[in-house]
Amino acid sequence: MDLDWIWKSILIIIAGTLLLRIAGRKSISQMTLAQTVIMIAIGSLLIQPVAGQNIWQTIAVGFILVLTLIGIEILQVKYNFFEDFISGKSKVVIEDGEILEDNIATMRLTVDQLEMKLRQQGVNRFKDVKYATLEPNGQIGLELKDDAKPVTMKDFREQMDQLKVILHSHLTTDDLNKKRDKNNIFKEVMEDGHEQEPPQYLD
């Protein structure tokens, strides 16, 4: 009786675990298109040795796929245009409580699907949303309007600090809000650019 399939199965599990460990820890919902394609390819590839294919050649091909994925991710970190090409860009789907119908039509997203994604984020009214973006991995990113945000201790302290500054200077509340909004990551999507350059160690 041929028992090769036993040690092949064990080796496949070990090699597959190692390959996925090298590839990263993202869940399926967090993967980019390139990551999803390569993970599916690895899954299909690893079952071949059990069917009689060369196991070492299969593992070698798996490592090549993972190295290719790592190379793609490095290029995405270094070059914005490559990231845009491979992963796509975030799109604004709600602005000031209004659905941007042209954008959701372009991305083939229905209003019902958008509502589902908002409910999963704990949002039940469009008008409470200042900005909502559909990310390249299909997840929704959102910023609530100020009057819809839950108050945290940090918010309370910031308001107290702002009040002290206003009382002791000529700054207005609008000036302080503009200063705070400079680092708003949703502004990058709206203005199609980065406010700050990436750190030098990523170049």
Do residues 59 and 128 share a domain?
no
Domain shared by 141 and 155, yes or no: no
22 and 77 part of one domain: yes
User: Residue 72: pLDDT above 50?
Assistant: yes
Q: Is residue 198 part of a domain?
A: no
Helix (H, G, I), strand (E, B) or coil at 172: coil
Mean pLDDT score of the chain: 76
One domain for residues 25 and 75: yes
Q: For residue 8, what are the contacts with CB-CB under 8 A and spacing of at least 6?
A: 49, 50, 55
pTM of the model: 0.54
Q: Does residue 36 sit in the same domain as residue 71?
A: yes
∠ CA 80-83-89 to the nearest 5 degrees? Answer: 95
pLDDT in tens, 142-158: 888 888 778 788 877 88
Q: Is the pLDDT of residue 200 over 70?
A: no
CATH number of the domain at 124, please.
3.30.240.20
* Within-domain flag for 72: yes
- How many whole angstroms separate alpha carbon 34 and alpha carbon 73? 9
Distance between CA atoms of 63 and 29, rounded to whole angstroms? 23
User: C-alpha angle 68/73/74, rounded to 5°?
Assistant: 95
Of 49-63, 101-115, 136-150, 184-198, the range with the lowest mean pLDDT is 184-198
Has residue 9 been placed in a domain? yes
Please check whether residue 62 is in contact with residue 45, taking contact to mean a CB–CB distance below 8 angstroms. Answer: yes
What is the number of structural domains in the chain?
A: 3
- For tokens 């602005």, name the residue: 95
Tell me, rounded to whole angstroms, the distance of Cα 128 from its chain centroid: 23
Model pLDDT for residues 121-131, shown as the tens digit of each residue: 888 889 999 99
Residue 155, domain member (yes or no): yes
Q: Using CA atoms, how far apart are residues 198 and 45, in angstroms rounded to an integer?
A: 37
How many CB atoms are closer than 10 A to CB 51? 8
| Cα 152 to Cα 82: distance, rounded to the nearest angstrom | 38
Which backbone phi and psi does 141 adopt, to 5 degrees?
Answer: -115, 140
Q: Which domain, by its residues, includes 37? A: 4-85
Give residue 92's pLDDT: 92
Q: Is residue 180 situated within a structural domain?
A: yes
Judge if 39 and 22 occupy the same domain: yes
